[in-house]
Amino acid sequence: MFIVSFVIKLTLIIVFKFDGFYGQDSYAYYDNSKVFIESLYNFRFPPNLFWPMGFYFLTFLFNFITLGNISQAALLVSLTAGSLLPGAVYLLSAELFKKYFDSVKTKNISLYAGIIICFSGVVIKSGMVIMSDMPGLLFVVFSVYYLTKYINSNKSTDVFLSAAFLSSSFLIRYSNVIVIIMYVFIILYLVLTKTKIFKIYHIVLFLFTVLIIFLPQTFYILKFGINYFSAVEGPGYWFINWNPVNYFRNVFFTNEGSMSYRFWNLVFYSSFIFHPLYLSFFGFSFITGLYFCYKRKISMAILIFCTWILIHFIYFAGIPFQSGRYALIYFPPLAIISALGITEIRNIVIRRIYLLLSVFLLLAYALIHINNFVSEKNKDLGAVEYLAQNIPSRSMLLTFEITGAVNYYTDINHRDIYNYNSGEMKDLLDSVKTDIFMIVSDNKIQTQWKGLPLEDTYNYIKNNYVLNKLSDINYYSIYSIKRK
């Protein structure tokens, strides 16, 4: 499974000539990894960075494989984790169902679950982009796998490995802390139903392992706090503004602008059962799989998968933001339940037709989607190429949203206007002795960022300087700026 998954992603990377960068966060992960690795090479503590250090440390390790090419190392982290994920889901499914079904059916369920993960567009795409999604999810799956093994075997080694992977997932994505709630529900259920007797030693070992592995990040949290929760003026960031009222909203206003979506959050985060990047046509077998889980009284599957799905659904549907990436964390249980539904199709011919058709639909949409997002990336690169050819590197370039690409692909001296209020922008521009240029999306600033400090900074530039438009490329307008 690893080889098939790896080859699919690597082939697409080569065919599309894709370097792993898409969106602002991928450039930020690269920049932060670079700072982190340089600090380690110079025997210094890395500075406080926005995200936890797990992804950067993995990039540091893979950096030895890529012989010092940090961007390739960061991409290899996502590529490897995304390729390991189908196998990890296979192992989890096999461990969970081996007490309920014979070996042939258990193997089939696990194989189908791995296939769904392997060919789903969201896993293929996430494994091609420099981001923490894939390693974070992989570690969660391995943690649940070893927890399930412990419940079946009562071995201390499984306790340690479950805790180690869980804590490591926190080091990669803070949001994975939500998984603790799932563990609490599982343990409470097992204790209250007297299904499992937990040894005090195992509980202490689990907690101790989690704390020890997370200790390096704890040092930074105690010294600097968590950047997510930094005190800010205004409406606040979306990830800390959870509210059940948001289930029935599709328009939000946060520190990251005004967001208007097509569907309510409740509908959006429920849609991944049939979303073409997730289950697609396999959504039908998910429904039947859920039914047979209940009918056959597969209590552990119901307990683990329903809590896994529901705790994340409850959280994400309550935040004032929508992103298809966030449903990744509860995709493995969706795939496994769907795989169970496939095995309940008694007619072998119909089952195979359903499986092949569903895989075809998954892969076809994945290719279309990846082609579209690479095309969008190339449009941004067109704007960056224009800048590289027409803006002297010694000039001052004001940027917004395309900053990461400008920083990575050019050597132009640039400043992101998001980091300046109007007064600070005045001081900056007054101090510049060279030519000044700007690349921004005017429409986006005037709509999404309306009423926020960014719009004030943008309006200050417009109202106090002469803007001469040089070009419009994709969503961006490029200006030369002259003093009045």
Question: What percentage of the chain exceeds 90 in pLDDT?
Answer: 77
pLDDT average, residue stretch 106-127: 97
Residue-level length of the chain: 484
pLDDT at 256 over 50: yes
- Weakest mean pLDDT among 178-192, 202-216, 232-246: 232-246
Residue 197 banded pLDDT, cuts 50, 70, 90: confident
Residue 240 banded pLDDT, cuts 50, 70, 90: low
Task: Report the C-alpha gap between 96 and 99 in whole angstroms.
Answer: 7
- Weakest mean pLDDT among 70-74, 78-82, 235-239: 235-239
Secondary structure E strands in 44-170: none
Residues 107, 53 contacting (CB under 8 angstroms) = no
pLDDT average, residue stretch 191-208: 87
Question: In this predicted structure, what is the pLDDT of residue 71?
Answer: 96
Mean pLDDT in the chain? 92
For the chain, how long is the longest CA-to-CA vector? Answer: 80
Encode pLDDT of 172-184 as tens digits: 999 999 999 999 9
pLDDT at 53 over 80: yes
Question: In this predicted structure, what is the pLDDT of residue 301?
Answer: 87
pLDDT at 257 over 50: yes
Question: In this predicted structure, what is the pLDDT of residue 12?
Answer: 96
Using only C-alpha atoms, the chain has a radius of gyration, in whole angstroms, of: 24
Residue 364 banded pLDDT, cuts 50, 70, 90: very high
CB-based burial label for 227 (10 Å; 0-12, 13-18, 19+)? middle
Question: In this predicted structure, what is the pLDDT of residue 169?
Answer: 97
pLDDT average, residue stretch 111-120: 97
Question: In this predicted structure, what is the pLDDT of residue 228?
Answer: 62
Task: Report the C-alpha gap between 83 and 69 in whole angstroms.
Answer: 21
Residue 231 banded pLDDT, cuts 50, 70, 90: very low
pLDDT average, residue stretch 279-286: 95
pLDDT average, residue stretch 102-117: 96
DSSP string, 373-393: HHHHHHHHHHHHHHHHHHS-T
